[in-house]
Amino acid sequence: MDRFELIRRLQAIVGQAYVLYRPDDLTVYEQDALMVARHTPDLVVLPEGTAQVSDVVKVARQARLPITARGAGTGLSGGAIPEAGGVVVALTRMTRLLELDVASRIALVEPGMVNADLTAMLAPHGLFYAPDPGSQVASTIGGNVANNSGGPHCLAYGVTGNNVLGLEVVLADGTVTWMGGRAHDAPGYDLTGVMVGSEGTFGIVTTVAVRLMPRREAVRTLLAVYETVDAACEATSAVIAAGMVPEAMEILDGIVMRAVNKTLHVGFPEDAEAALLIEVEGLAESVPVLIERVEAICRAHGARRIQTAATAEERLNLWKGRKHAYGAMGRVGRRTMMLDVCAPRSRLAEVMRKVLEAGQRWNIGVANFFHAGDGNMHPTPFFDFDDTSPEYARVIGLTEDIMRACIEAGGTITGEHGIGLEKREYLGWMFNERDIAAMKTVKQVFDPDGVLNPDKVFPTGRPVHGDPRAKAAAAAGQA
């Protein structure tokens, strides 16, 4: 099938305006928020429903082209980058709320719906969808499913996988099937659990059945200010050890708070090195008791000041500052790289010390804002040179040291951003060859020809960040 015939057939499915093939249009889809890898697709197709996605997949298969599903492009692991070219299936037209069952607390949504838009639609019904990643105002439900995204409030309510009941999926041959469904404990294999977090390598999700939560009677939010990041981490562990699980526990370091203040003027303390943002929800009678206990623990672990939001506006202002932390990093460096690693909560302070030591060793600034309650960390190196500069090898050396520190502490190299192509060459740091071979066997069941989002997750021998430079810099740095 030649290119002109392929374009004609795809236009017949989705309409002429929704098949992009001119170079200027394709450029938009050559990268995601990872920003250090770029690959241009051959075509981009924007379907408006499941049937069109199925037909597009069938035509792409006939043309022997790889297929990459894409949401809003906010991913930070390169998962939506079409490294092998081919057809990008952009799901941003599929934004409908298909069904809302208030009594059963279930909604059916299309994958292109923005996470924050779903939250807004549910508010009049006294419900909410718990996963709330930092990119909530832009990221889509489908992208959240692909990466099993988390967010501040996932400490209490779980990550995306804990809040998805079923998925409608287009498989590699264009077949449409359901995994799971509306039941909270569907019979048979948990294929929904397998699909969530598979980063588009098993199928293309076209409908998501999500579990909804009732809004709590009362909510209180406080900001505990500390002289060190260590103290804030230790307070986090102490609160959980006391038998309480707040809805959210977030840490911001001094670099982040000062940058956010310059951007949003939210009033974070300028002279502190860390702050712990805690939110407690529940019955109106119990929340004051819980917040008093939390405040006492924070003070016992060195909080020099505790600011409790007195109004809904103050609470939203604090969360606005946390949600815009990454965007504010442009104030401290021309380039940034937000990492996504995990450490056991009991070893959080120890790992954070190693993160800061690594930054000093490689002479790269590192800002920190993260989901402290579940140990999901986002160290963010900032610098003023491009990824094409020889100096960029220092950034890679730093990120590798941070990942190793987390693994050695019993953590992981990713918590919610996925592996994509950013971390695929590091998968062997956590799994042996037999482990990876078993994972590849599952991939082959769903995608025997390897056409869905190829070259993602598994090592390929082609490091996206250029290991040779990093190793050379490491050798020089250790000399």
In the chain, what are the domain boundaries? 3-90, 97-214, 218-328, 333-478
Alpha-carbon distance of 273 to 231, in angstroms, equals 10
**CA distances for 269 relative to 52, 256, 273, 304, 414, angstroms:** 52, 11, 9, 11, 30
Give the mean pLDDT per block of 10 residues along the chain (479 residues): 94 98 96 88 98 98 98 94 96 98 97 97 96 93 96 93 97 97 85 97 98 94 96 95 94 96 91 96 94 96 94 92 91 92 94 96 96 94 91 94 97 94 94 97 97 96 60 42
Token pair of 201 as six digits: 């390598």
Calpha distance 82→39 (Å, rounded)? 6
Q: Are domains 218-328 and 333-478 of this chain identical in fold?
A: yes
In the block, tokens 């380039």 appear at 335
Neighbouring residues of 326: CB distance < 8 A, sequence distance ≥ 6: 134, 336, 338, 369, 378, 380
CA atoms of 4 and 463, how far apart (whole Å):
34
For 423-462, write each residue's pLDDT tens digit: 999 999 999 999 999 999 999 999 999 999 999 999 998 8
Reported as a single tens digit per residue, the pLDDT across 356-365 is: 999 999 999 9
H or E element that contains 371: strand 365-371
* Helices and strands in the chain, H and E counts: 16, 20
> CA-CA distance, 117 to 299, in Å (whole number)?
38
Q: What sign does the dihedral 317-219-278-77 (CA atoms) show?
A: negative
DSSP 71: S
Q: How far is CA 208 from CA 9, 78, 190, 358, in A?
A: 28, 23, 15, 41
CATH number listed for the domain at residues 97-214:
3.30.465.10
The CATH topology of domain 333-478 is Alpha-Beta Plaits (3.30.70)
Question: What predicted TM-score, i.e. pTM, was given to this entire model?
Answer: 0.93
Q: What is the model's pLDDT at position 465?
A: 60
Q: For position 476, what pLDDT does the model report?
A: 42
- Euclidean distance between CA atoms 297 and 463, whole angstroms: 45
Closest CA to 170 of 161, 178, 181: 178
What is the residue whose two structure tokens read 């900001």?
A: 223
What is the structure's pLDDT at 187?
A: 84
pLDDT, averaged across the chain = 93
CATH class of the domain at 3-90 = alpha beta
Q: Judge: domain 218-328, CATH 3.40.50.1010.
A: no
Inter-residue contact 123 to 341 (CB < 8 Å): no
Instruction: Say which DSSP state 448 is in.
Output: T
